[in-house]
Amino acid sequence: MGKLPFEVGNLKNINEMDISNNNLSGEIPTSIGNCSILEYLYLQGNSFQGAIPSSMASLKGGFGSVYKGFIHLEERTIAVKVLNLQQKGASKSFMVECNALRNIRHRNLVKILTCCCSMDYNGNQFKALVFEFMTNGSLDFWLHQRLDNENQSRNLSLLQRLNVAIDVAFVIDYLHNHSMQPIIHCDLKPSKFLLDNDMVAHVSDFGLARLLPITNDSSEKQTNTIGIKGSIGYVVQGNFF
């Protein structure tokens, strides 16, 4: 119990912080934004108030923060991706993701429930996407064997790993070859593969996606990328077919 101390910002050399289920309260210290290499921040199971510092907005989404929510009337858990519109490229990412997801349906895609584009109470632009919630988190979480809330390591069997690979292959084949408009994800990596209650993989985050021209002429299906898109180690450059 208690508050998260301001000194937490001195932990500048960690890339993961798990302070979940500690019954903490109060506001999240702005100093946590000093943890420049922090990639994963787990806050669930506490009673924090206020917003995550804007400098942390690139975490749980590339152009915003992802929150866990609950629709009481439907008794449904959701994931809400709130765009950080102060970050360069966030508005474009929102439009790209909306355009990519509006006409595609596949069992291995994270289902979008709705989107929101309005003004907040302070007169600032507000953009958010609402998705179905994936109970088992990301593949990245499982592969790196972090500990769950019961301090038991998470391990994927060979069969589960194979099934995830097949799930991802199915949806990529759909996006490239069978959707109404061919779509290249451009940032495929384990953190983008989310697992549902049955450990079925769902591809998420189309903020960097490239929508290819609709054509029946195979000679015109090739397009060139401009620059480099995606995360380090997973960047996409060159020709697509």
- Reading the chain (241 residues) residue by residue, the pLDDT tens digits are 688 888 888 887 777 788 888 888 888 888 887 876 676 777 777 888 766 665 554 447 467 888 888 887 778 899 999 988 888 888 999 999 999 998 899 999 999 999 999 887 778 889 999 999 999 999 988 887 554 444 445 688 999 999 999 999 999 999 999 998 999 998 899 989 999 999 999 999 998 889 988 766 555 544 444 454 555 555 554 444 3
Q: Which residues contact 184 (CB under 8 A, 6 or more apart)?
A: 175, 176, 209, 210, 212, 236, 240
- Under a CB-based contact definition with an 8 Å cutoff, are residues 204 and 110 in contact? yes
Q: Which helix (H) or strand (E) holds 41?
A: strand 40-42
129: three-class secondary structure by DSSP? strand
Q: What is the pTM of this model?
A: 0.69
Spatial distance between the Cα atoms of 202 and 50, rounded to a whole number of angstroms:
31
Q: How far apart are CA 196 and CA 136, in angstroms?
A: 6
Domains of the chain, first to last: 1-56 (no CATH), 139-240 (1.10.510.10)
CA atoms within 13 A on the CB side of 57: 15
DSSP summary character for residue 175: I
205 catalytically annotated: no
Distance CA 35, CA 37 (A): 6
Q: Which of 187, 196, 205, 217 is catalytic?
A: 187
Q: Tell me the residue length of the chain.
A: 241
